[in-house]
Chains A and B, each alone.
Chain A
Amino acid sequence: MAAQGEHVTGTGFFTSVDDVSVRLAEVGYLASTAVATTVFLADRLGKPLLVEGPAGVGKTELAKAVAAIGGARLVRLQCYEGVDESRALYEWNHAKQLLRITAGRDESWDEARTDIFSEEFLLPRPLLTAIRGDQPTVLLIDETDKADVEVEGLLLEVLSDFQVTVPELGTITATRRPFVLLTSNATRELSEALRRRCLFLHIDFPDQELEQRIVRLKVPGLDAVLAESLVRVVGALRAMELRKAPSVAETIDWARTLLALGAETLDEAVVRDSLGVILKHQDDVLKAGSKLRLDAVVPAP
């Protein structure tokens, strides 16, 4: 397989790491060095990319951004408890099969049998969809940790060989390898076998400088000084060991809120009134309030 060369195994969306950063930025995704490097490697080596990290740091967004750049269709498999083969891989269209059988009553059974297990009666689900077809594809397997352990076994064949076996039809192999991105919030340990097949990327909260750029990009109307204070306060909140640390998505929400409120600076009243936008537990609001001394008396001017 390795002898076939890089261009056959890789998806070929990108030419270099810089290319990744620049083009991701063009579609509104500001990537850190680690993200850009890993995306490039996944593209070049043709390996699936397993992305872990806290909620709201842009794991799913990354897949969408890559699809947008590559001009690729995005095939998404949203995992949940109880997702199974017929939801993930393929299903036979029983209703259509029955119709076919009733329509052709005078033919022999052998003719009908070979006919009803043909492509026409196959309902491709995300994994099969992503493998078939010649157009560039990004396959997003979202929240892999929510799926049951058996589904991981199903993923193994798809992820290592990019093929799906349908007993009646034979093995369907990808003619064009999709760019595969799996996300996980680490609520369940993924199996070692699955991890081994993937490149691993942990996206953490961005550093202050990057987060400021993200805020400026997503909420262009916000004053630069205010954006900076905002990001710093969010950074302080993350350091507080809250039950749910504010994510990038919440930073952006907060920025939008401040913009809507017409706040010009970040002062006590503004923070106290809008803390609910970034913190989602009452305990956290109380704790942050006392740590930021929101109830402290302000000396009269």
Chain B
Amino acid sequence: MQIGPGETLDAAAALEALGLDHRERVRAGLAAALLRREGQRAAFDTVFDLYFPLAVGAPEGVRDLPVDAPAAWREQLAGLRDRLADALAADDRAALARLAAEAVSVLGRYGAPGSASDGWSAHQTLDRLQPQILLARVLAAIRAGQGGGGGQAPGQGQGQGGGQGSAGLRRAGEGFTERIEADEIRDRIEQFRRQVGNEARRRVAELRGTDVIARRAVAASPDQVDFLVAGRDQLAQLRRTVQPLSRKLATRLAARRRRAQHGRIDLRRTLRRSLSTGGVPLRPVYRRRNPGRPELVLLCDVSGSVAGFANFTMLLVQALRDQFSKVRVFAFVNRTDEVTDLVTAGRADPAGLGSRILAEAEVTGWDGSSDYGAALGGFADRFLGAVGPRTSVLILGDARTNGRDPNPAALARIAARARRTYWLNPEPRELWSTGDSVAGEYARQVDMLPCRNVRQLGEIVAKLLPV
């Protein structure tokens, strides 16, 4: 994040104007003064929670867990779960925050107190508490509350007038909204998990020093998340960044086309026009360019190790399809098959794209590991007609051949026919040509670029776009 002295002054002025009485106002004020775009928000919140913690030390009224008394331990865990289920059912934010603090304090401790390796772990807390198993129970509790209030079966859609749920439980029965209840509870549980994470970080920060944790704990913004190590949450977030990215690229493209209009002067037409002004060329005429839209061929490794990456690229290309005159997508693990129809038909469901390709296209032979030599060879033999002088070819994969023949001659055949060929490799440059990677060998044939996150992917695709 770029924060200069100007921002610091703003932040100080903001604090002076706001005072320090309201934590959420301080948060909003600092964010307004320091941040420049929404992507920075998650990192900011993490750091804010560390430096302006809600509480210090262990929450009140929490006793240390007697390690040598399993019965008491079980009892306390059960109690914690009961209260958590109630709080989830009532959607009581304050209670959830309190419970997160308590849970970390009771369940999250590891290492001997006072030793160099002790601390609090969110992972351990959640592992022991298992909040996700409460889903069914919370749902039952909510429905029971409704039954008590309205006394009628759900799903009938009859008006209940002002029917109220019993105390502490949310709202009276409404047939339809029950369908989304499960998702809502899942959401609340997810929120709770995040709170536990924050709390554990806060406690560790008290132990190790805030600066150390702040440096380590801050997550990257979505467009910088590494494809290969992204978690499930991050993948969903990444998918959401792809849609606006395609619009951004399209507007950038429009601007480039507009500028390109003002290119070289068309002398012949300028002179002809000058006839009407007595031979004085008052208004120059610019040479018009043919906006030749290139064709794009995508050749993607969809094997497990790089599937996420291939998915994103396909999504982006799908979104940019109208910028190219023709897009064809081929997928391979160790056999190559065309998946253009699957990619274009699946606009509504980007999440399932990868699994659909694996299920419906013939991309694997007798085993499931990727074989670049066979795949490239297969493509060169069967689909070379897809590549012409106007075609840009994008090959996606980590170039790890599992020890098989890399078959660089096939790649050379493809590259010779295409206008441009790029190989996008989701691995960092240092790892190329290590182990079973033959990246170096392929890089001699075609341009190989590292492409590890959405930002890099956007830059590369922008480069391919026609002017």
Which residues of A are interface residues toward B (Cβ below 8 A)?
6, 17, 33-34, 37-38, 40-42, 44-45, 47, 49, 52-53, 81, 148-149, 186-189, 192, 195-196, 199-202, 224-226, 228-229, 232-233, 235-236, 239, 241, 243, 264-269, 271, 283-284, 286-287, 292-293, 298-299, 301
Residue pair B171, A228 in contact (C-beta under 8 Å): yes
Contact A241-B36, Cβ < 8 Å, known A264-B159, A265-B175, A298-B155: no
Q: Is B215 an interface residue (CB 8 A)?
A: no
Residue pair B176, A233 in contact (C-beta under 8 Å): yes
Residues of A within 8 A of B24 (CB): 33-34, 37
Residue pair A41, B17 in contact (C-beta under 8 Å): yes
Whole-angstrom distance from the CB of A65 to the nearest CB of chain B?
A: 18
Residue pair A232, B177 in contact (C-beta under 8 Å): yes
Whole-angstrom distance from the CB of A67 to the nearest CB of chain B?
A: 20
18 additional contacts (CB under 8 A) given A243-B243, A283-B348: A37-B24, A40-B17, A41-B17, A45-B10, A192-B36, A195-B37, A196-B4, A201-B32, A224-B162, A225-B174, A226-B174, A232-B184, A241-B236, A241-B239, A241-B240, A265-B157, A286-B348, A287-B349
Determine which of A41, A236, A268 lies in contact with B183 in the assembled complex, contact meaning CB atoms within 8 Å.
A236
Q: Is B133 an interface residue (CB 8 A)?
A: no
Q: Is B33 an interface residue (CB 8 A)?
A: yes
Contact A265-B32, Cβ < 8 Å, known A187-B247, A195-B37, A225-B171: no
B: contact size bracket: 35 or more
Contact A265-B176, Cβ < 8 Å, known A17-B22, A37-B32, A199-B10: yes
How would you classify the secondary structure of chain B's contact residues: helix, strand, loop or mixed?
helix
Chain B stretch 385-404: residues in CB contact (< 8 A) with chain A:
none
Whole-angstrom distance from the CB of B81 to the nearest CB of chain A?
A: 25
Residue pair B176, A268 in contact (C-beta under 8 Å): yes
Task: List the one stretch of B248-256, B266-274, B282-290, B429-437 in contact with chain A.
Answer: B248-256
Q: Is B80 an interface residue (CB 8 A)?
A: no
Determine which of B37, B240, B349 lies in contact with A200 in the assembled complex, contact meaning CB atoms within 8 Å.
B37
Q: Is B263 an interface residue (CB 8 A)?
A: no
Residues of B within 8 A of A224 (CB): 162
Residue pair A267, B176 in contact (C-beta under 8 Å): yes
A268 to B158, CA, bound (A): 12
Residues of A within 8 A of B220 (CB): none
Contact A292-B184, Cβ < 8 Å, known A37-B25, A225-B171: no
Residue pair B31, A200 in contact (C-beta under 8 Å): yes
The 7 closest A-B pairs by CB, nearest first: A267-B157, A236-B180, A264-B159, A37-B28, A34-B28, A199-B32, A283-B348
Whole-angstrom distance from the CB of A266 to the nearest CB of chain B?
A: 5
In chain A, what residue has the closest Cβ to B186? A239
Residues of A within 8 A of B157 (CB): 265, 267-269
Residues of B within 8 A of A195 (CB): 36-37
Q: List 30 A-B contacts (CB under 8 A).
A: A6-B17, A17-B25, A33-B28, A34-B28, A34-B31, A37-B25, A37-B32, A52-B37, A52-B38, A186-B244, A187-B247, A188-B251, A196-B36, A199-B10, A225-B162, A225-B171, A225-B172, A229-B177, A232-B184, A233-B177, A239-B183, A241-B236, A241-B350, A243-B243, A265-B174, A265-B175, A265-B176, A268-B176, A286-B348, A301-B153
Q: Is B41 an interface residue (CB 8 A)?
A: yes
Residues of A within 8 A of B22 (CB): 17, 33
Determine which of A202, A226, A241, A265 lies in contact with B38 in the assembled complex, contact meaning CB atoms within 8 Å.
A202
| Interface mask (B166-182 → A, CB under 8 Å = 1, otherwise 0) | 00000110111101100
Q: Is B214 an interface residue (CB 8 A)?
A: no
Which residues of B are interface residues toward A (Cβ below 8 A)?
2, 4, 6-7, 10, 13-14, 17-18, 22, 24-25, 27-29, 31-33, 35-38, 41, 153, 155-160, 162-163, 171-172, 174-177, 179-180, 183-184, 187, 236, 239-240, 243-244, 247-248, 251-252, 254-255, 347-351
Residues of A within 8 A of B2 (CB): 192
A229 to B240, CA, bound (A): 26
Residue pair A41, B29 in contact (C-beta under 8 Å): yes
Residues of A within 8 A of B236 (CB): 241
Determine which of A187, A235, A266, A301 lies in contact with B156 in the assembled complex, contact meaning CB atoms within 8 Å.
A301
Contact A41-B348, Cβ < 8 Å, known A17-B22, A239-B183, A266-B176: no
Residue pair B248, A202 in contact (C-beta under 8 Å): no
Residues of B within 8 A of A299 (CB): 155
Residues of A within 8 A of B348 (CB): 283-284, 286-287
Whole-angstrom distance from the CB of B48 to the nearest CB of chain A?
A: 13
Residue pair A265, B158 in contact (C-beta under 8 Å): yes
Residues of A within 8 A of B27 (CB): 34
Residue pair A235, B184 in contact (C-beta under 8 Å): yes
A287 to B351, CA, bound (A): 13
Whole-angstrom distance from the CB of B360 to the nearest CB of chain A?
A: 19
Residue pair B184, A41 in contact (C-beta under 8 Å): no
Residue pair A187, B14 in contact (C-beta under 8 Å): no
A267 to B179, CA, bound (A): 11
Contact A267-B175, Cβ < 8 Å, known A200-B32, A235-B184: yes
In chain A, what residue has the closest Cβ to B254? A81
A301 to B240, CA, bound (A): 41
In chain A, what residue has the closest Cβ to B41? A202
Residues of B within 8 A of A52 (CB): 37-38
Contact A33-B183, Cβ < 8 Å, known A41-B14, A266-B177: no
In chain B, what residue has the closest Cβ to A196? B6
Determine which of B10, B31, B247, B252 lies in contact with A47 in the assembled complex, contact meaning CB atoms within 8 Å.
B10
In chain A, what residue has the closest Cβ to B351? A241
In chain A, what residue has the closest Cβ to B183? A236
Residues of B within 8 A of A267 (CB): 157, 175-176
Residues of A within 8 A of B347 (CB): 283
